[in-house]
Structure 1
């Protein structure tokens, strides 16, 4: 038995709750994953997992062993990365998921400098706005906007996205620019809806001025669940948008979007890097999170107020 392989398989079964999913993420057969865990239990003379036809649960001994295994595997990973000066740089593969506009506008242009700094890192980047099962899909971390409510995740607050209201000239040629937020709720105005993955509902805007606050849901012709499609619909004149400034800036400069209700302010949207609660932060993941934080300090610094 390869103890390293067996411990890795055991940890992945605990994290995914399934021998099948663990085997898929490790790119081995389900039979191999099962045999590795059985051999580990035989060596330790302890039952680590309770198996039924539908699910796998970790035993009390297994939970205690898992916590030590995760730390041990992470320490081994860091030790191997630092064996010599030539390999002192973090190396290996990271699997991450980021919002599509953030990837297109901020991350991709900065990626060559990141690669020059960490040439041994390989990144598998999912580009989406959907809700990710980090453990089931074996994703190391996600970058997401909004408040995080999933207690199974740890998160680092890396920035605050300043928001504004915008519309395309084509839309404003049909509808007069609103002079008060209530017009977006109670008139013929339409918004472009952004479908929030956790709820399936459109994301509201909270506008504030002189101590007053209004929450606007609005009515829409089109609602989407992808940031690039959301922006494209707004540019096509399908409705009013509430956008992070980094997404709107160039389009405003080019005259493709016009700011609305500038005497009202929208609550900023916090941006987080999130990863599983029980996963050790490897050197690979640590430098990636630090890089995201550096970029956000430039493009969307944390609102200290």
Structure 2
């Protein structure tokens, strides 16, 4: 069978449009005119028999069929690029542009302090990091990989568990000096302490508080005057002595060790929260994605 090179050209054009967000910017990245990119995509749509993009005067987006097609072929396209690099004898297989989707907790407290190390390790790699409250459409938004806290929702993406970190109850020394320490989980209920709450984006309500000791869990009717949507704000308010917060041990432990936070109810700190990495499900994982997965596993250990 003779391979139709126009098929590969069309797939490359689709990938460029998804990553760039427009036909014009895709053309600039590929060294082509906007009409040339449009023709390549149109030929591919005709060849595969589906409409890949919804087009309007103001925006473009993948159709459902286009999303499924792109999700299937983009890792294969990246694999071809990696194979070409290896064939050329270039040792720097990890190259190109990696688009990463992260939540604020991971991005601010774990990833950003170590990004310089990652970039130094792979000097031919450029990284775009998007900090978002929700993962959204990884394929349609052109991201290669995402890292999020919380249990994964059903999807076609490949989910990789990186770690489970404890949930710890903390307050600043200044708060403890003014209000004392809770001695039991029940001491946190019914307004006996100022609890700092964070909103669950999925429900619009504050996250419920639970404290765990072994297999036993106790629900806490936490209440307080401050409700935030960002973990950075939650941590800052806790450090400032505004109240008691439930934080993740992975970023709170150094502050506890330094004496800037007090770990309260230490016997009730057995609840854990997972951190997952997500990428397109394919037998071929692009080298740049695999490098990032290995790196975040390393820094999360």
Q: Which category describes the TM-score, using the shorter chain as reference length?
A: 0.7 to 0.9
Matched, 1:252 2:252: no
Pairwise CA distance, 1:92: 0.6
Q: What is the TM-score when the length of structure 1 is the normalising length?
A: 0.78
Please show how residues 172-251 of structure 1 align to structure 2 within 5 Å.
172-209=176-213, 211-216=215-220, 218-251=222-255
Q: Which residue of 2 aligns with 1:291?
A: 295
CA distance in 2 between partners of 1:93 and 1:253 (Å)? 38
Question: Does 2:51 align with 1:49?
Answer: yes
- Structure 1, unpaired ranges of 5+: 298-305
What's the C-alpha RMSD, in Å, of the aligned pairs? Answer: 3.5
Does residue 142 of structure 2 align to residue 149 of structure 1? Answer: no
Between 228-237 and 136-145, report the one with greater CA deviation.
136-145
How far 1:131 sits from its partner (Å)? 4.0
Distance 1:247 1:159, change over 3 A: same
Task: After superposition, give the CA deviation of every residue in 1:171-208 in whole Å (9 maximum; x if it has no partner).
Answer: 22342321111222223322211223333332233312
What's the offset of the Cα at 1:37?
2.3
Cα contact 2:135–2:146 (8 A) shared by 1:
no
Which sits farther off after the overlay, 197-206 or 136-145? 197-206
Write out per-residue CA displacement over residues 251-287 of structure 1, whole angstroms, 9 at most, x where no aligned residue. Answer: 2233321111112123111111112446953110011
SS, match of residue 266 in structure 1: coil
Structure 2 distance, partners of 1:258, 1:64, is 49
**Which residue matches 1:303?**
none
Give the Å deviation of 1:144.
Answer: 1.1
Which ranges of structure 2 fall in alignment gaps of 5 or more residues? none
For the 8 Å contact 2:163–2:276, the answer to whether it is kept is: yes
CA distance in 1, matches of 2:114, 2:42: 46
Partner of 2:276: 272
> Structure 1's 166 and 9: CA in aligned 2 closer, same or farther, altered over 3 A?
same
Partner of 1:178: helix, strand, or coil?
Answer: coil
Distance in 2 (CA, whole Å) between partners of 1:276 and 1:247 is 28
Instruction: For 2:251 and 2:72, locate their aligned partners in 1 and report how far apart those are by CA, in whole Å.
Output: 43
State the Cα deviation string for residues 124-163 of structure 1 (Å, max 9, x = none): 1224544443233212122111111142432110111122
1:174/1:92 Cα in 2 relative to 1: closer, same or farther (>3 Å)?
Answer: same
Matched, 1:95 2:87: no
Native 8 Å contact 1:142 1:275 kept in 2:
yes
